[in-house]
Amino acid sequence: MASIIEFRIPVDQVALAHTVEGVSDLHIEIDRFVGRSTDSVLPFAWVDTNDIETFEQTLREDPTIKSFAKISEIGDDHLYRLHWAEDVKDVLNILLDEDAVLRSAAINTSSKAWEFQLMCTEHADLSKIYVNCEEKGLSLTIDAIYKLDSNEESQNELSEQQHTALSEANERGYYEIPRAISLSELADEFEVSHQALSVRLRRAHGHLVDREMRSTTNPQANENSES
């Protein structure tokens, strides 16, 4: 049965530490739909920042990047193609080894760590990835591990961070009309950027929507879970 692992690795052990340090209010998320190309690993990333010029200037000076090119722009989101340095490729290949599938990878200025979510076809592969990370000298902090089962709610289980964010947002009136607290104010209380909290809430909302859609399209499975 497939399993999901959510974990963090310090930014200086993966990539873009110089960029994250030099740009305030920055969020970067790897495009998970493109894992490998013929000449790169995880080459595409979405960037959200209020100062794109500073971001690009800092990125040029970042030793973990050989080159980059802006591909597209949609609203405040900018899509870049990144050509990683060889040591970064080595780290990313470790995470994508052992039949692992990347579900998400993101970094922001407040967390100072890359946040990953991987799916492995076999639970034993999770241990292999952890051992490989230790051998590489990577400090891996595990946030959640759960099984992916299409017939169980565990497929859309919220991480601890997502559950806390949803609970606090609801209690503080973020979902009320009009809102009793803004996203920026809520982010200040969590001591994260508003982009980081926005992404965390969007992922949590996605889990809840998937769970609801699955229960309404498969009522028999829903009845069995309640019996």
Q: Output the pLDDT for position 57.
A: 97
Alpha-carbon distance of 145 to 131, in angstroms, equals: 16
Q: For residue 60, is pLDDT > 90?
A: yes
For 93-137, the pLDDT digits (tens) are 888 765 778 888 889 887 789 988 888 877 777 788 888 888 889
Which pTM was predicted? 0.67
Where are the domains positioned within the chain?
A: 3-147, 156-220
- What does the pLDDT read at residue 38? 41
Percent of the chain at pLDDT above 70? 79
pLDDT beyond 80 at 210? no
Q: Which of 45-49, 156-160, 174-178 has the lowest mean pLDDT?
A: 156-160
Q: What is the pLDDT of residues 7-48, one digit of tens each?
A: 899 999 999 999 999 998 888 988 865 544 445 678 899 898
Q: Which residues contact 227 (CB under 8 A, 6 or more apart)?
A: none
- Closest by CA position to 49, among listed 27, 70, 82: 27
CA distance 102 to 175: 31
Q: Confidence class of residue 68 from pLDDT cuts 50, 70 and 90?
A: very high
Q: How far is Cα 145 from Cα 153, in angstroms, rounded to an integer?
A: 14
